[in-house]
Structure 1
Amino acid sequence: MRDVIIIGAGGGGPVVAKELAERGLDVLVLEAGARHANPEQEWSALENHMNSSLAGKFRFGPADPAKPAWFRELVTPGNFSQVAGVGGTTLHYYGNSPRAMPGVFAGYRGRDRWMYDYRHQFPFSYEEMRRYYEWTEATLPVQTAAMGTKEQAFFDAATAAGLTPITGKDITHAGFRPQENAILQPGGNAGRTSDPSQLNYPDATGCTLCGHCFQGCMLPKSAPRNLKARRSTDNSYMPMALTADLWKPGGKAITLVTDAYVTRILTDPRWGGRLQTATGVEWRDVNTGEIHSEDAKVVVMAGGCIENPRLWHNSDLPDPNGWVGRGLTDHALDWVTGIFDHDVGGATGTSCSSRADFPGYGAMQNTANTPGVAANNLAASDSGIRGAYDNGLGLEGTWDGKAGRAYGTELKEMMSNINNQMSILILTDDDVEHQNKVDVSRVFKDKQGPVARVDIDKRRRSRRTFRNREYLANKAAEILRAAGATKIVRTDWTPVLLHLQSSMRMGDDRRNSVLDENCEARAVGGLFIADNSALPNSLGGPNPTLSTQALATRTAEKIFQQYFGGDVWVGGETPICSIDDAVTQAVINRGI
């Protein structure tokens, strides 16, 4: 019997794995997708090669590209932006690691508290969460992003639009700031040259400002895996978990099995105050079709906001309050793009290094995208085609014309020089709403059982969510005007399921939450959740990964205390950084 089985090696699972392995527990991690052991040979900067949802390296599907991607049923128009494999969707995230807004936590007493989704708060205070943020920020590590042309242009424009700087990591007022990024700062030749021959480790360290974050981070070349620039979990927490016995006295390296799709949570119906207790898992070898099972004292679900509800329902686990898979949030994303008659660094440097935050409304970030991603962002809309037809949904504001899809000559002109673009991504503080849900399809099945069915309709959002989205889009247009944009286009982006959160939410009210204050399932003892789905709300708008990882650290600590008689460590110890010399040597010794 294992001590702990973790399902999924994306943004949250490796955090729990590393923390518990460091304390000597026997941990098995099961990942349905691939482990990319040698990115320098396996990956490229080609967008379709990496990001195609059908056959790209970064898709939700098996490791073998000849096999079809795994299907999900999407009720309303949109698309998925998720990745299977070690690292999960952090493989193509931009490393943005802001903390949540204090207003989404219990006990917040700010004068603006009424502006948040106060019915679905964290069941503990921001002050308690702060020490888990600090631990996670030190472990990754999180550092202030490197600045360049586009960041300076954004800051100048935000100042001209009347915003003031935010200092520190806590969001106390509306303003702008550099991103706190899980990306190592440039060192040596990095950031000083674009000559590839000069950008090999150790002559170059940290971020080389290549601009290809969405295609995965394989730079600097020749660097040990834990010294690759961007701190996706395949570069940070997973190398630590796989070498814990080498760098931590008393530590025990985890066991990682990839191509292992978990199809059922095994339970025992006898449990004190719970309906059932988890006893292990059943999983299917994606390559051979063989079925395996394994027992454990504790099971941790970290398969994400879509797969966790699917697995729960396919395991016939109890759902006494009807909230499994409910309350899905996604930041109601949108794009506002400015076109300039001069270079504003639109596709230069790190993908996303500057942001502005608006407590009670959400956030926005200046984002540089590669050409294919940028064109997609301009061409995927719910509001008709600009200059061709209006489907009646076109939104009007301080941008040029109605919101909608750019196409044809207009799109070609906008894409003619992407360094003359400034793209702003809107991240709304959207409400937890019962009708936004993930369940299982009544029509479609695959070899793992009924597939996930996702129903999140942006046209049925709450009044507050709509208000926040319009407020932020108009603010973005104001900033672009202040920067001197000659043209401003709002996309009214069709739902892109990227910043998914809250489908298995924690909370202090058993009537509307799946998890208790420790992220343990209310209905199933010994079953925890440690990914974005455990978040109780949309965090006020900030990107979710850091909050998920901080919460997963807290969950690991609770598991260690409750089930293995361990002590609290966060706040009482100094975290070991994923790039420390001892970790680096362990990674080299083991060939991770």
Structure 2
Amino acid sequence: MSRDVIVVGAGAGGPVVAKELAARGLDVLLLEAGARHAHPRREWTHYENDANNPITGFLRVGPSDRAAPEWLREEPQNSFLLQVAGVGGTTLHYYGNSPRAYPGMFKGYDGPDRASYDTAHAFPFTYRELVPYYEWVEATLPVQTAAMGVKETVFFRGAEKLGIPVQTAKDTERWSYRPQENAILQPGGTAGLTGDPARLRYPQATGCTFCGYCLEGCMEPAGAPRNQAAKRSTDNSYVPMALTAHAWSPHGRAVTLLADSAAVKVHTERRNGELVATGVTWRNTRTGDVHREDAAVVVLAGGTTETPRLWLNSGLPNPNGWVGRGYTDHFLDGVTGLFDEDTGSSRGPSSAARCDFPGYGALENIGLPPAMQAFTMALSDSGIRGQYRNGRGLTGPWDGRTGRVIGPELKEALGSGVDRLLNILVLTGDSVEAHNRVTLSAFPPDEQGPIPKVEFRSRQRTRHTLAAREFLARKATELLRKAGAKRVYRFDWAPLLLHVHSSMRMGLSADDSVLDADARSRWVGRLYVADNSALANSLGGPNPTLTTQALATRTAETIFVRHFGGHRWVGREDPVVSTDPRCA
């Protein structure tokens, strides 16, 4: 059987392409290797280990049968890859934060701070060209100003004393602080006003219920239709729209979604002297059955690790060696303050306030439940505080040297619960580096073929990346001190790979990129990429999902025009909002 389009991966970007093309009447097959969590209230819990255990959790990289082993990735360095397989992908546990990228990361930027950015790896078009696609996604999800509570009050208390202004625009062009722009529905009715589960049922309660478990997948409020769930992960937004495109679009056609279907090969053939993608073979991860279908266009959206793996396992061309290279991760770090007051760290949307420092990166508050709080305080590249330094042990305005917190200090930090802590996530605007990459491992293959090897040289970052991370860690410490923290810990995290991008990057030059300015493969016709791996760089530090979805919208429009004789719609039509009753 031949389709118009096959999309591989139902994470952040794949459902965007599927929904947009199905709304224009195309026959789209959407493949997802992980589970389809059709009934979260029956399938999920708020237990942290049940959700996030990388071996057995329901939000892991592995098959839907939780008794089966997870899918292995080789990580030769001290690191932790926090991603999810399943419909919704890693948006299942993201915090919904949806800021736009910094304009300095795009072609043509000529601001006075131009030298602060990795301009050698800029996006191959201007920031203004992407703005209409940002606006389309922001209206569709929708993206709104975050609901806020106690921890945001504490964060802003410190942020306003940094001497930077409040930001009120969507575009970030100067140092500033603001509430998050996030893809979480505002609380309505009883939501946010009570903790009584009996009063937090839809429609009495709508939007965010302040449960504090964003990391465990959103199933709030109880009884809500799937497209009214508070957090706009793609399983709650773009996937329902894709599956109901025939109901809300005049020419729409419902997407065919196949979960438990891992793509193992992209097929190609030569047509009129050009190598073109012709279809995909995938394996049913429950039965082991193998299937193949052809299509006019193939879109890869399996994620920053799995897309280069599939490319390499398919034997697709890689003449410049950049498939899998340039893997950026925001070189994250954690800084935590201990307070004598209630910070509300575990309540409400998990991240609802931020500071932006274009040229360096960003800071955002993150609320965590107890087990994840302990995890973040134990992940370090500096050894154990007061015990050994692992060759680092960075000093600064924080208390003591960096490193893992143990013993009496850990007891003091967690003894009264997480609601005396305020966490700040450091999002470094890291540079694109060829040695940070995905290759194929020499370990034994799994059922889908050779497994990916993810390599990071965390101590060999560029001078700009290292300086930006140190600057931001010091700003985070200053913010916490000014907010009233009595003790500040900096952890010097080893690579925590949850904001990952650029391993199949689009670029200005064919020498160091895989995709052209339309996210189209430079070497295989009718083959596109629509996940974080297509991003040209680390965006300067902002969270990547919104930009990936804006770029995926642009890519879908390009596919429709170039291959199916269609018209452009962004800027010419009004988007349907994903909470529209017709999309339920």
CA deviation after TM superposition for structure 1 residue 109, in Å = 1.3
The aligned counterpart of 1:134 is 135
Which residue type is aligned with residue 303 of structure 1? G
Alignment deviations for residues 286-337 of structure 1 (CA, whole Å, 9 cap, x no partner): 1111111100000000000111111111100010111100001000000000
Alignment deviations for residues 201-249 of structure 1 (CA, whole Å, 9 cap, x no partner): 0000000011000011001111000000000000000000001001111
The aligned counterpart of 1:47 is 48
Indicate the SS of the match to 1:478.
Answer: helix
Matches within 5 A, 1:325-364: 325-364=324-363
Structure-2 separation of matches of 1:93 and 1:210 = 15
Structure-2 separation of matches of 1:571 and 1:562 = 18
Which residue type is aligned with residue 510 of structure 1? A
Which residue type is aligned with residue 289 of structure 2? E
Matches within 5 A, 1:178-327: 178-272=179-273, 274=274, 276-327=275-326
CA deviation after TM superposition for structure 1 residue 443, in Å = 2.8
Which residue type is aligned with residue 336 of structure 1? V
Q: Is the 8 A contact 1:158 1:479 kept in 2?
A: yes
The aligned counterpart of 2:95 is 94
Which residue type is aligned with residue 442 of structure 1? A
The aligned counterpart of 2:493 is 493
Q: Is the 8 A contact 1:186 1:205 kept in 2?
A: yes
Indicate the SS of the match to 2:5.
Answer: strand
CA deviation after TM superposition for structure 1 residue 444, in Å = 2.7
The aligned counterpart of 1:408 is 407
Which residue type is aligned with residue 536 of structure 2? P
Structure-2 separation of matches of 1:285 and 1:191 = 42
Structure-2 separation of matches of 1:486 and 1:475 = 16
Unaligned runs of 5+ in 2: none
Indicate the SS of the match to 2:503.
Answer: coil
Q: Which moved more, 1:226-235 or 1:403-412?
A: 403-412
Structure-2 separation of matches of 1:247 and 1:409 = 59
The aligned counterpart of 2:160 is 159
1:147 and 2:148 equivalent? yes
Structure-1 separation of matches of 2:229 and 2:38 = 13
The aligned counterpart of 1:384 is 383
The aligned counterpart of 1:590 is none
Q: Is the 8 A contact 1:271 1:525 kept in 2?
A: no
Indicate the SS of the match to 2:209.
Answer: coil
The aligned counterpart of 2:114 is 113
Q: Is the 8 A contact 2:244 2:582 kept in 1?
A: no
Indicate the SS of the match to 2:251.
Answer: coil
CA deviation after TM superposition for structure 1 residue 442, in Å = 2.1
Which residue type is aligned with residue 516 of structure 2? D
Indicate the SS of the match to 2:90.
Answer: helix
1:440 and 2:440 equivalent? yes
The aligned counterpart of 2:542 is 542
The aligned counterpart of 2:565 is 565
The aligned counterpart of 1:477 is 477
Alignment deviations for residues 483-532 of structure 1 (CA, whole Å, 9 cap, x no partner): 11110000001111110100000012111110001000001000000000
Q: Is the 8 A contact 1:339 1:488 kept in 2?
A: yes
Number of equivalent positions: 582
Structure-1 separation of matches of 2:165 and 2:346 = 25
CA deviation after TM superposition for structure 1 residue 390, in Å = 2.1
Alignment deviations for residues 24-72 of structure 1 (CA, whole Å, 9 cap, x no partner): 0000011100000000111111000111111110000000001000001
Which residue type is aligned with residue 388 of structure 1? Q
Structure-2 separation of matches of 1:98 and 1:127 = 15
Matches within 5 A, 1:364-375: 364-375=363-374
Structure-1 separation of matches of 2:57 and 2:581 = 34
Structure-2 separation of matches of 1:520 and 1:37 = 32
Structure-2 separation of matches of 1:147 and 1:566 = 42
Q: Is the 8 A contact 2:338 2:420 kept in 1?
A: yes
CA deviation after TM superposition for structure 1 residue 271, in Å = 4.9
Q: Is the 8 A contact 1:531 1:548 kept in 2?
A: yes
The aligned counterpart of 2:525 is 525
Q: Which moved more, 1:425-434 or 1:160-169?
A: 160-169
Structure-2 separation of matches of 1:38 and 1:488 = 41
The aligned counterpart of 2:124 is 123
The aligned counterpart of 1:9 is 10
Which residue type is aligned with residue 167 of structure 1? T
The aligned counterpart of 1:422 is 422
Which residue type is aligned with residue 96 of structure 1? N
Indicate the SS of the match to 1:372.
Answer: helix
- What CA RMSD, in Å, does the superposition of the two structures yield over aligned residues? 0.8
CA deviation after TM superposition for structure 1 residue 369, in Å = 0.6
Give the structure-2-normalised TM-score.
0.99
Structure-2 separation of matches of 1:415 and 1:23 = 53
Which residue type is aligned with residue 45 of structure 1? H
Unaligned runs of 5+ in 1: 588-592
Alignment deviations for residues 134-170 of structure 1 (CA, whole Å, 9 cap, x no partner): 0000000000001211111111111112222111111
The aligned counterpart of 2:581 is 581
Give the structure-1-normalised TM-score.
0.97
Identity among equivalent positions (%) equals 59
Q: Is the 8 A contact 1:362 1:540 kept in 2?
A: yes
Indicate the SS of the match to 1:556.
Answer: helix
Which residue type is aligned with residue 298 of structure 1? V
Q: Which moved more, 1:42-51 or 1:343-352?
A: 343-352
1:80 and 2:81 equivalent? yes
Structure-1 separation of matches of 2:288 and 2:303 = 23
